[in-house]
Structure 1
Amino acid sequence: MTDDVSIFCDIACELGEGPAYDPDRNRLYWFDISGKKLLEKAWPDGTTVVHDLPFMASAIAVIDDERQLIAAEDGLHVRDAASGRLERLVAIEADNPLTRANDSRVHPCGAFWIGTMAKDEGGSAGSIYWFFKGELRRLYPDIGIPNSICFSPDGHIAYFTDTPKGLLHRVACDPSTGLPTGEPAVFLDWRGKKGFIDGSVVDADGVLWNARWAGGAVDAWSPDAELIRTLSVPASQSTCPAFVGPDASRMIVTSAWKGLSEEKRRSQPHAGKTFLLDVTVRGRFEPRVKIA
């Protein structure tokens, strides 16, 4: 461990993903997708609580003071935050046992973009969907591994990637609905460089912070796609950053040990843990999702 990073949670997730901070509950939530677990921890030094789930899940959003929305392998589920009770709200690829949810995020207007992918990570069996006030649409089919779903603060721009292809796209959006209004264009070409584009989040200045899988880093990109800085992570498979704290000024990043050989796991004893990065940011709280 270095002076630039500390361990926020020492539970090593096989596939840590989907971190989201709820400022009203003062808790960070995240998932071990492979382990079918939801983790939560009060900021900054609460005890981590691990909830077993009946399915693989990857993302969580706040509906209201009592309820959350979870993106799971068979659709969107409403979760009672106090009891953990789950009820499926809408089916997404529920008839396909070979796919699951992956990277997903709430647009500033309250729409939810949900990514799906093959459980074996092969082919292009996934899609990116839009859900808003009870309506579901498929935006982009034939996706391999959807990642980096995030939005500009004003809701006019959406970002996303198909990780194996190495291209981070941006597309104009209607800020009132979160629907694309144009065709995606390449924002960042990462082909042939170290690691892969994984989860991202955009701060209040429009800076995109990306976790680089197999790169052990979080990169900050300006709205003009200029690299501002790179923060090292003590786990090669960094997966997704999130803003945390009462003013969203701190940043954590999840990681994974999935697929690492025994030798590599020995050389990376912190793989799968969740880290607090020594950086002050102008972060933003995630908006609440509008389900009706």
Structure 2
Amino acid sequence: MKPPIQTWRAELVVDSRCELGEGPQWQAAEGRLYWCDILDRRLHWLEVTSGATGTHRLDHGVSLAAPLAEGGLLLVGEDRLGRFDPHSGTIETYCDFEADNPLTRSNDGRVDRHGSLWLSSMGKAAEPGAGHLYRLHRGELVRLHSGLTIPNALCFSPGGEFAWFADTPTGVVRRWRLDAEGWPVGEPEPWADFSAHDGNPDGAVVDAEGCLWLALWGAGRVVRLDHDGRVVGEVCLPVSQPSCPAFGGDDLDRLYITTAREGLPAHRLARQPRAGGLYVAAVGIRGLAEPALRLS
């Protein structure tokens, strides 16, 4: 007999109305959560203790703002990576990112257990096979995988033995064994198949128990998967397009979830006017403190 699935409900915390909210990142040093609106070219932040919020307007699409070990953030942009000072608002280009390909943009990303950044690209119109998966390790950008359409769900096991990712249209989450330095070994293997379920795999994060929390775009849910890829819990949202979860707060026991309005016809948007907001669920399960990104 299967144990009952634990359930939680997510509540709106910031009505940010993102066209495509993505990339939530907890910056413990400032007690802030950062997230991006890729299509509207904005970087949002929430100060969790005070409830203060703010927005930075950007001159290009950005999908992730990763906290840097040296301070500030690294913006993963559609054609470049840039150091960003959230206090002055200045951006310094760090390196190009598929700048020679105007058809692609950045998509998912997460810092691994070694302080290196995994990041992905995809076609701006989700062209099949146009996306790639990379690792930025100590200043060197290395391509790991090609021929992907919408690479998502980048996250890592607590001990760094595995990476997970999904190519969203396939519905399959894959697991990739890593060596002691965090580099992939062999080929990624199918791990959890959602192709026959409602919704498609989007962003993901891992908790302190090694379980994976996966946003199901179109299904209005974030599911918790055990070590064998079985659903053991779910967070229900009042909007249909969750994009990515992240743990935040002083105890890392609150699950923040970005959402999107992109592609919703008027009649569906009328039924979920807070689509694109930032949501939170008090799950009571601790997340992992993610390392800051090291560039050298």
Q: TM-score, normalised by structure 1?
A: 0.96
Residue 124 of structure 2 corresponds to which residue in structure 1? Answer: 119
Which of 181, 185, 192 aligns to 2:185? It is 181
For 1:41, the aligned partner's letter is L
Q: 2:256 aligns with which of 242, 252, 259?
A: 252
The one of 62, 66, 84 aligned to 2:67? 62
Task: Tell me which amino acid in the other structure corresponds to 2:10.
Answer: V
Give the 5 Å matches for 1:167-206. Answer: 167-176=172-181, 178-206=182-210
- Kept after mapping to 1: 8 A contact 2:192/2:230: no
| 1:143-164 deviation line (CA, Å, top 9, x unaligned) | 1001000001111100001100
Q: Which whole-Å deviations, capped at 9, do the CAs of 1:202-235 have from their partners, x for residues lacking one?
A: 0111000001100000100011112111111111
Residues in 1 aligned to 2:43 and 2:287: alpha-carbon distance in whole angstroms: 23
The equivalent position to 2:237 in structure 1, one of 196, 211, 233, is 233
| Unaligned 5+ runs, structure 1 | none
Tell me, yes or no, if the aligned pair for 1:147 and 1:160 is still in contact at 8 Å.
Answer: yes
The reply on whether 1:290 has 2:294 as its aligned counterpart is: yes
Report the alpha carbon displacement of residue 67 of structure 1 after superposing the two structures with TM. Answer: 2.0
DSSP 3-state at the match of 2:294: coil
Match of residue 58 from structure 2: 53
- How is 1:18-37 mapped onto 2 (pairs within 5 angstroms)? 18-37=23-42
Equivalent residues of 1:108, 1:175 under 8 A apart: no
Kindly provide the amino acid, as one letter, of the partner of residue 105 in structure 2. R
- 2:77 maps to 1:77: no
CA contact (8 A) 1:166 1:190 kept: yes
Q: Alpha-carbon deviations, 1:219-264, whole Å to 9, x = none?
A: 0001111211111111100110010101211111010010000000
The one-letter code matched in structure 2 to 1:230 is E
Q: Secondary structure at the match of 2:270?
A: helix
Aligned residues: CA RMSD: 1.2
Aligned mate of 2:102, from 76, 97, 101? 97
> How far apart are residue 65 of structure 1 and its match?
5.2
What is the SS of the residue equivalent to 1:266? helix
1:219 match: 223
Range with greater deviation from structure 2 (262-271 or 39-48):
39-48
CA contact (8 A) 2:153 2:201 kept: yes
For 1:271, what is the secondary structure of its paired residue?
Answer: coil
Number of residue-to-residue matches in the alignment: 289
The answer to whether the Cα contact below 8 Å between 2:253 and 2:282 also exists between their aligned partners in 1 is no
The residue aligned with 1:208 is 212
In structure 1, C-alpha distance between the alignment counterparts of 2:213 and 2:246, rounded to whole Å = 9
Q: Which runs of 5+ in 2 are unaligned?
A: 1-7
**Equivalent-residue separation in structure 1 for 2:282 and 2:253 (angstroms):** 11
Distance 1:124 1:38 in 2: 28
Off by >6 Å, runs of 4+ in structure 1: none
CA distance in 1, matches of 2:220, 2:203: 13
1:3-18 equivalences under 5 Å are 4-18=9-23
CA-to-aligned-CA distance 1:129-151 (integer Å, 9 cap, x gap): 01111111100011100100000
Q: How far 1:84 sits from its partner (Å)?
A: 1.9
